[in-house]
Amino acid sequence: MSGSMSGKVLVAQGGGPTAVINQSMVGAVLESRKFRNVEKVYGAFHGVRGIVDEDFLDLTQETTHNLEMVAQTPSSALGSTRDKPDLKYCQEVFKVLKAHEISYFFYIGGNDSSDTVRIVSEQASSAGYPLRCIHIPKTIDNDLMVTDHCPGYPSAARFVAQSFMGANLDNWALPGVYVGVVMGRHAGFLTAAAALGKKFPDDGPHLIYMPERTFVIDNFLADVKATMEKYGRCVIAVSEGIHDEAGVPIALKLAKEVERDAHGNVQLSGTGALADLLCDEIKSKLGIKRVRGDTFGYLQRSFVGCVSDVDQREAREVGEKAVQYAMWGDRDGSVTIHRTGFYSVDYHLTPLIDIAGKTKVMPDEFIADSGTDVTDAFRMYLRPLLGSKMPDAYRLRQNRVPKILGV
């Protein structure tokens, strides 16, 4: 096969790692190696930072077998970065791309990374440098526009669902209140996945708090109280991004120091503060003794051994499609996933301007009127993404023995 331009391919990975981000990288590498106009396939270490530093691996000298093994390994095998290139940064990028005769740039990442691709694409265009730039989607937050869902999300969602399935069983055995804090700054998709761990009507999570709804502490306490009265226990899924009516994150209200990344985002993960605050509120205001909080943290995006096979397959395909769009097409863009059946998908190339730097949140039809649960529409949306062989939880049947002594 032969694409339009001769030259080298460069692949890089940006933002937070996922369980399947290497599937996309390997998909792009193996597909690129089929094109005879492709001289070599390079990988940049640690995203755009590796380009500026000329820190490249020659992936044409990697075996297919090892690439397949790496594809099944979670987290970014090329390393990642949180850098967001400005004009000066981009000038450095071009200098390196030109020197190494890179003609195709594939960047795997979320909305911040898609914005990086947009800037690089625009800079290349205005500099008259022939460079095909394709953004390959990836994010556990599932918050990219246009695409039906984002590779990486289904596997993280599966981890969250399996976690709450277990947390519910644990909480049933030793009743009390359990608070599980899930990643997701603006979008509640990952937190909402907790609902898929529920089987029986009285199972938890009994309450789900997503950042799409204002978090009111008094309402929260009333919800917990009502659930305790109904079931004698309460399992709660909370997004790290929950905020008050003024938009101030609840986690921020109590944090002593605020850490921000290069994109100006407040650091919400990597601390158990939100879970501890909510547990303290429940203990002190409701007088409940057994209150436990977990912050799922990095486990939910990097745990080895919990992956959706549907997610693996699609992550591979968006990497392959990115190369096909680059070689046979005539424009830059972002690869998007479009649902065509229950369950089947197709892929499109969407203009970068429709994706870059924008954030999708949970649509109203996915959130129950109560604001503390999801709808069946969401369950139908997520279920096929979780893939095959989902674990299941069973109960003993209630063949009660009549009391002899008791009342």
Which residues are designated catalytic?
141
Q: Which tokens is 102 given?
A: 């890179």
First to last CA, the chain: 81
Residue entry with tokens 């996309």: 24
The amino acid at residue 56 is F
Report H helices in 77-176: 87-99, 111-126, 153-173
Tell me which stretch binds its own copies (CB under 8 A): 42-50, 119-127, 210-218, 220-228.
42-50
CA-based nearest residue to 296, from 193, 391, 159: 159
Q: Give the three-class secondary structure for 191.
A: helix
> Residue 238, interface with its own copies (CB under 8 A)?
no
CA dihedral 84→85→89→91, nearest 10 degrees, is 170
301 annotated ligand-binding residue: yes
Residue entry with tokens 């990642």: 80
Tell me which stretch binds its own copies (CB under 8 A): 145-153, 209-217, 297-305, 372-380.
297-305
Identify the helix (H) or strand (E) that includes residue 10: strand 7-13
CA–CA gap between residue 279 and residue 289 (Å, rounded): 10
208 annotated ligand-binding residue: no
Site residues for its own copies, window 67-96 (CB under 8 A)? 67, 69-70, 72-82, 95-96
Member of 5, 94, 100, 353 binding its own copies (CB under 8 A) = 100
Member of 3, 7, 27, 43 binding its own copies (CB under 8 A) = 43
CA–CA gap between residue 237 and residue 142 (Å, rounded): 17
Select 232 or 363, whichever has its Cβ closest to its own copies: 232
CA–CA gap between residue 36 and residue 29 (Å, rounded): 13
**32 half-sphere exposure, CB direction, 13 A CA radius:** 33
Please state the closest distance from residue 346 (CB atom) to its own copies, in A. Answer: 30
- Applying CB under 8 A, the site for its own copies has a residue count of 86
> Residue 254, interface with its own copies (CB under 8 A)?
no
Select 33 or 360, whichever has its Cβ closest to its own copies: 33
139 annotated ligand-binding residue: yes
> Residue 123, interface with its own copies (CB under 8 A)?
no
Tell me which stretch binds its own copies (CB under 8 A): 149-157, 222-230, 236-244, 389-397.
389-397
Q: Give the three-class secondary structure for 112.
A: helix
CA–CA gap between residue 196 and residue 203 (Å, rounded): 11
Tell me which stretch binds its own copies (CB under 8 A): 131-139, 145-153, 157-165, 310-318.
157-165
> Residue 252, interface with its own copies (CB under 8 A)?
no
Member of 293, 319, 333, 387 binding its own copies (CB under 8 A) = 293
Site residues for its own copies, window 325-354 (CB under 8 A)? none
Select 292 or 313, whichever has its Cβ closest to its own copies: 292
What are the φ and ψ backbone dihedral angles of 341, each rounded to 5 degrees?
-170, 180
Member of 226, 262, 304, 380 binding its own copies (CB under 8 A) = 304
Member of 163, 308, 324, 372 binding its own copies (CB under 8 A) = 163
140 annotated ligand-binding residue: yes
Please state the closest distance from residue 44 (CB atom) to its own copies, in A. Answer: 10
Q: Which tokens is 158 given?
A: 């599966």
396 annotated ligand-binding residue: no
Binding marks (x or -) toward its own copies, 166..205, rule CB under 8 A? xx-xx-xxx---x------------------x--------
184 annotated ligand-binding residue: yes
Question: Phi-psi category of 184—alpha, beta or left, where left has phi over 0 and alpha has psi -120 to 50?
Answer: left
The amino acid at residue 395 is R
Q: Which tokens is 239 given?
A: 């997004």
Compute CA distances 164 → 29, 199, 206, 251, 400, whole Å: 36, 11, 11, 21, 28
Select 172 or 215, whichever has its Cβ closest to its own copies: 172
264 annotated ligand-binding residue: no
62 annotated ligand-binding residue: no
> Residue 39, interface with its own copies (CB under 8 A)?
no
Member of 39, 122, 148, 294 binding its own copies (CB under 8 A) = 294
CA–CA gap between residue 35 and residue 366 (Å, rounded): 43
178 annotated ligand-binding residue: no
> Residue 404, interface with its own copies (CB under 8 A)?
yes
Which amino acids are annotated as binding site for substrate, given as ranges? 139-141, 183-185, 240, 298-301
Which amino acids are annotated as binding site for diphosphate, given as ranges? 16
Which amino acids are annotated as binding site for Mg(2+), given as ranges? 111
